[in-house]
Structure 1
Amino acid sequence: MTDNKIKNEDGKLELIINAAQKRFAHYGLCKTTMNEIASDVGMGKASLYYYFPDKETLFEAVIKKEQNVFFDEMDKILNSGIDATALLKKYVKLRSLHFRHLLNLSKLRSDFFHNTKPVFAKAFESFKQKEVEIVAGIIQYGITTKEFKRGNKHENAEFLVHLLLGVRMVKLKYKEINDFDESDYEDLDKNMCKVAGMFLKEIQTEVASR
């Protein structure tokens, strides 16, 4: 395949994913059809299926795009020169925002996140592992700068990631995604920050916690 053809294919993929992202954000996964997405990009349905065999695969591509945006933003934060405590707090804020974007894309029943389809589970699991690595790196940085106590950085990172996941899942257990309003997001953000604060108290050195 020539370079021009590869670029053309990549351009079409990006066009489809961007169109799908807008559709999902406005109507949700269930109410969006492949016909509508094909129409948005001026493409026949058969041509769309050449790139994505079904709506779920296309939704997975949109999820991965959102995940890449999260990682790009985290890279900027990690290279901003702030201390480890501030890095962890920024991570929690950004993670909360990413979750909000994901809810807005899906507009599904809350039990979707408790009974995730295999095609989505793989994307979420891969994201979580990268997330743990990012947090572990922040913790190691804090240990190096003597902000944080010495300990198992991977265990502590996994612990925090799972704690934050628990906060999000509890919120979804008691309220449908379509019923979420600004106060729900604010409450979720507050609780995630509270959990992060308790976690920081446990790993900070006496000097850093003053």
Structure 2
Amino acid sequence: MIVVRIDGEPAGVLGLADQVRPDAADTVARLTALTATTPHLLTGDSPRAAARLAAEVGITNVHAGLLPQDKVAAVRNLHARGERVALVGDGVNDTPALAAAHVGIAMGRSGSDLALDTADAVITRDELATLPTLISLARRLVIANLVIAGTFIAVLVSWDLTGTLPLPLGVAGHEGSTIIVSLNGLRLLRNTAWQHATNQRQLVAPQLDPDT
């Protein structure tokens, strides 16, 4: 709140409030549906301001008035409960918590240099709507790579148990699976991968609309 004075006399009061990004509520809804967990808001803002912002985007777990060490403690409490924590932040105060989370995600354009260096992933587009796409692509990539590596290992082990696996062929098969997994990861550099994930995200949008 800002009090405006004219000639030393109060003439008015200005109320300042943080503006919620247009895609924030939609992103929270999609992340909730994608992860089947409720997001947490960790902020140094006052409880009143934090509650207002959380209500606008649909977050019910609010932790306000936190110092950097308090954010780290909140992340570690989630760890102790067996939760896998992905933290999104952009400020210097978020850096310790980004390091403590299983996955730290920084917003590229608005993020501080320290947050960008600490985070495991950086969203250069600075769009919150990219978060669900990022998680969806990461899951698909991990599952695909596990299937590829597991198939190669299963074939090589079965061959060795039931017959005679030549050592050069075994080494070639093992290293070959590593190369294929690496090449599969490089597919994320293609725009079509992101476009496909974005299209899938748009297809499920009607299911997340509270008015339907």
Query: Given the two structures, how large is their TM-score scaled by the length of structure 2?
Result: 0.29
User: Counting helix residues as a fraction of each chain, which structure ranks higher?
Assistant: 1
Q: Which has the higher contact order (CA 8 A, sep 6+)?
A: 1
